[in-house]
């Protein structure tokens, strides 16, 4: 009789690979459990979201839309996706929502497929000014072979120069005018630029990957009512769901909506990670209850941390505008292209504070930039508030200004974080820890 696979003695090497992965997964969990996760694009999922993400849906397939499937066995998933579409339409006040995208980048690739012909023209924020790589030739824009022109940038205000950008849009006459960035401190002044785009016959797209939860919670801007035809976004940054994306539109036009649905399937997805879609739907239900409070507290914490860092002696960008109106804070740590941001991120990690280096306006080298980008959305989600923001600013000072040994500061970081282990702003009656 042939032996059942799994019953024979595995080779040591294969087992070691698997064990190493398990150990590294555990260690990575501990890093965030006892550290300060401050990367602006991350978040933590709620216990109920975790339950559906780690479910049988993980291995299942669905293609098409609820009620119009290419596979059998989708009746229960149809229920899930239908609730999700309805909740997304409600929460984003969007006549159209597609919740299938597996990431913000996938949403962008799909949206660009629907909004501009291959080889067409697009305007967007440059990556040097904070635009995302999917807005660039190296990313989704290049995949569609789009001819990219970037907006003139107002460094002081950290947003497109409105008059110059309107002029540029009228000159270029793009098929798609794309707004939104990865370094996103202030709402984009959309109105005039969207009007200029519409006059030129362009579709207006807003990439809300970072700020989607703040938008849904009514605390940033309302792009779908400020001229955007389409809004894309990630479901796991300030919107606190599992990794995935959204595609939303203000359009009531059924043929345009069909085009958007087609851009996801068959455009860029076959099956689309059903466990994550189910997680997104639970996160939408939680957001409906707690989203406004979460978004408000997140922005308040970002403002508090920015002020506290400035008071501790850090060079925090955009002081004249109150530092930030989002979940992000940007700090300068040395001369342009000096790599001071990379160095700071490195030392902070040794103290258990997880951030990312970031190019600031004028930096030209992505791997040796002068700045850091910080986000408070996850710290807010585990219940930290303005008092903790003051404490965190002091921890930054000890590491980066006082030059204290990072391992010593790590101890204080661990002590602080130990008290913030439970996910808030979600259905969590049993107070289950958010960190596995």
Binding site for ligand PLP (CB under 6 A): 41, 103-105, 108, 132, 134, 180-182, 207, 209-210, 234, 245
Q: Which residue of the chain is nearest ligand PLP when measured via CB?
A: 104
Which of 132/276 has CB closer to ligand PLP?
Answer: 132
Which of 105/326 has CB closer to ligand PLP?
Answer: 105
Cβ of residue 27: shortest distance to ligand PLP, in angstroms? 23
Cβ of residue 209: shortest distance to ligand PLP, in angstroms? 3
Cβ of residue 191: shortest distance to ligand PLP, in angstroms? 20
Which of 240/245 has CB closer to ligand PLP?
Answer: 245
Query: How far, CA to CA in Å, does 376 sit from each of 193, 294, 380?
Result: 30, 11, 6
Question: How far is C-alpha 108 from the geometric centre of its chain's CA atoms?
Answer: 13
Please name every residue paired with 370 in a beta bridge, in sequence order, or none if there are none.
none
Please name every residue paired with 64 in a beta bridge, in sequence order, or none if there are none.
69
Cβ of residue 153: shortest distance to ligand PLP, in angstroms? 15
Distance CA 6, CA 413 (A): 43
Question: How far is C-alpha 337 from the geometric centre of its chain's CA atoms?
Answer: 26
Which of 200/232 has CB closer to ligand PLP?
Answer: 232
Distance CA 182, CA 165 (A): 19
Which of 200/203 has CB closer to ligand PLP?
Answer: 203
Cβ of residue 136: shortest distance to ligand PLP, in angstroms? 11
Q: Can you read off the two tokens belonging to residue 159?
A: 């947003």
Cβ atoms of residues 260 and 247 within 8 Å: yes
Q: Is the peptide bond before 266 cis (omega within 30 degrees of 0)?
A: yes
Cβ of residue 119: shortest distance to ligand PLP, in angstroms? 22
Cβ of residue 236: shortest distance to ligand PLP, in angstroms? 7
Which of 200/243 has CB closer to ligand PLP?
Answer: 243
Cβ of residue 17: shortest distance to ligand PLP, in angstroms? 27
Which of 174/245 has CB closer to ligand PLP?
Answer: 245
Cβ of residue 412: shortest distance to ligand PLP, in angstroms? 30
Which of 245/339 has CB closer to ligand PLP?
Answer: 245
Please name every residue paired with 65 in a beta bridge, in sequence order, or none if there are none.
68
Which is it for strands 64-65 and 68-69: parallel, antiparallel or unpaired? Answer: antiparallel
Q: Which residues contact 28 (CB under 8 A, 6 or more apart)?
A: none
Which is it for strands 176-179 and 121-124: parallel, antiparallel or unpaired? Answer: parallel
Buried b (16+ CB within 10 A) or exposed e, 61-77: bbbebbeebeeeebeeb
Which of 187/406 has CB closer to ligand PLP?
Answer: 187
Please name every residue paired with 245 in a beta bridge, in sequence order, or none if there are none.
234
Which of 121/373 has CB closer to ligand PLP?
Answer: 373
Cβ of residue 188: shortest distance to ligand PLP, in angstroms? 11
């Amino acid at each position: 009789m042939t032996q059942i696979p799994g019953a024979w003695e595995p080779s040591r090497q294969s087992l070691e690979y698997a064990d190493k992965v398990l150990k590294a997964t555990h260690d990575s969990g501990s890093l965030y459990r006892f550290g300060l996760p401050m990367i602006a694009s991350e978040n933590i999922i709620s216990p109920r979201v975790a339950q559906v993400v780690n479910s049988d849906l993980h291995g299942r397939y669905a293609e098409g839309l609820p009620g119009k499937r290419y596979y059998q066995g989708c009746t229960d998933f149809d229920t899930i996706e239908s609730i999700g579409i309805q909740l997304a339409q409600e929460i984003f006040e969007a006549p159209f929502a597609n919740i299938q995208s597996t990431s913000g980048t996938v949403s962008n690739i799909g949206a660009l497929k629907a909004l501009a012909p291959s080889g067409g023209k697009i305007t967007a924020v440059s990556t040097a000014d904070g635009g995302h790589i999917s807005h660039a030739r190296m990313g989704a824009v290049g995949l569609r072979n789009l001819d990219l022109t970037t907006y003139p940038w107002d460094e002081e205000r950290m947003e497109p120069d409105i008059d110059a950008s309107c002029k540029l849009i009228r000159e270029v006459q793009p098929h798609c005018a794309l707004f939104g960035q990865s370094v996103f401190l202030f709402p984009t002044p959309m109105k005039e630029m969207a009007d200029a785009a519409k006059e030129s016959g362009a579709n207006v797209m807003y990439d809300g990957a970072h700020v989607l939860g703040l938008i849904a919670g009514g605390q940033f801007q309302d792009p779908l009512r400020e001229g955007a035809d389409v809004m894309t976004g990630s479901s796991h940054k300030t919107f606190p769901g599992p990794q995935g994306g959204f595609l939303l539109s203000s359009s009531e036009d059924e043929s345009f909506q069909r085009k958007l649905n087609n851009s996801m399937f068959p455009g860029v997805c076959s099956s689309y990670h059903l466990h994550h879609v189910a997680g997104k739907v639970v996160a939408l239900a939680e957001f409906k209850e707690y989203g406004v409070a979460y978004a408000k507290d997140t922005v308040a914490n970002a403002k508090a941390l920015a002020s506290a860092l400035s008071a501790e002696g850090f060079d925090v960008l955009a002081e004249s505008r109150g530092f930030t109106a989002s979940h992000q804070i940007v700090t300068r740590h040395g001369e342009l292209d000096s790599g001071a941001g990379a160095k700071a991120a490195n030392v902070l990690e040794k103290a258990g504070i997880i951030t990312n280096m970031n190019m600031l306006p004028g930096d030209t080298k992505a791997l040796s930039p002068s700045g850091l980008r910080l986000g408070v959305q996850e710290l807010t989600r585990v219940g930290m508030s303005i008092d903790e923001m003051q404490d965190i600013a002091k921890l930054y000072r000890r590491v980066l200004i006082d030059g204290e040994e990072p391992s010593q500061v790590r101890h204080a970081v661990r002590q602080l974080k130990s008290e913030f282990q439970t996910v808030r702003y979600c259905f969590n009656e049993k107070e289950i820890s958010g960190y596995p």
